[in-house]
Amino acid sequence: MTRDFNDWVDVEGLTPTERERLERVHALLVAAGPPPELTAALERPPAQVIQFPLWRRRPMVAALAAAVAVAGAAFGGGYVVGHHGDMTVVRTAALQSSVGTQAFASLRIGERYESGNWPIEMTVRGLPAKPNSRDYYLLMLWSHGKPAGICGAFHVSPNGVTKLHFDVPYAIDKSTHWVVTAIEPGERYPGTVMMKTV
């Protein structure tokens, strides 16, 4: 493949100054070479993105659209940034079962990215795996007994431990509370609260 500037850039109508600036940028890109290969850690996405069922109620559809957007952002942001083991943790939180099971989860919240998103690493134990692929769990911010934001949707491993990574745009501070809800087909959003912040 040619690396010649004239083969890549349409120079028609450019001033000499603009052309010179573009030629400098082109030379820098050629000198930098191709991007490195993906590392093994980035070859698999950090979390599973779940397809949501469509329901007839408009508020639910809007809420599910928001959930899909957040899940997509969690997938995309986590995939682009990568899952760094060196994340600087600025807060931790624990969630425990609110329905009599032995389920619990731990959250590690990292420093906020320049984009404004917060990385969250979540480890979940004890939630039952759902046999129906349309059943799923949601990690949500919770305020005054109501959902305040969806961090992401997930399934759990039948082996008992599930590790997830989400990137969320919400403000997080010491007063932030989380819940995990379970949603089955036909169940109204936000589903059944399974765990909440200790």
* pLDDT tens digits, one per residue of 135-155: 899 999 998 888 889 999 999
13: its two tokens? 């109508």
- Burial of residue 151, with CB atoms counted within 10 A of its CB: 0-12 exposed, 13-18 middle, 19 or more buried: buried
Give me the residue label for tokens 């943790």.
89
* pLDDT tens digits, one per residue of 67-83: 555 545 444 444 444 44
* pLDDT tens digits, one per residue of 29-76: 777 777 766 666 656 555 555 655 554 555 555 555 555 555 454 444
Give me the residue label for tokens 């760094």.
84
User: Distance from first CA to last CA of the chain, Å, rounded?
Assistant: 59
pTM above 0.85, yes or no: no
Q: Which residues fall within 8 angstroms of residue 140, CB to CB, at 6 or more apart?
A: 147, 148, 149, 150, 151, 178, 179, 180, 181, 190
Alpha helices in the chain (DSSP H): 5-8, 16-32, 40-43, 58-81
Mean pLDDT of the chain: 78
Confidence at residue 171, expressed as pLDDT on a 0 to 100 scale: 87
Instruction: Kindly compute the dihedral angle of the four CA atoms of residues 83, 48, 72, 108, in this order, to the nearest 10 degrees.
Output: -40
Give me the residue label for tokens 């795996």.
129
5: its two tokens? 């500037």
The domain made up of 40-197 is a member of CATH 1.10.3110:
no
Confidence of residue 7 (pLDDT cuts 50, 70, 90): confident
List, by residue range, all CATH 2.60.40 domains of the chain.
40-197
Q: Is the dihedral of CA 120, 121, 127, 131 positive or negative?
A: positive
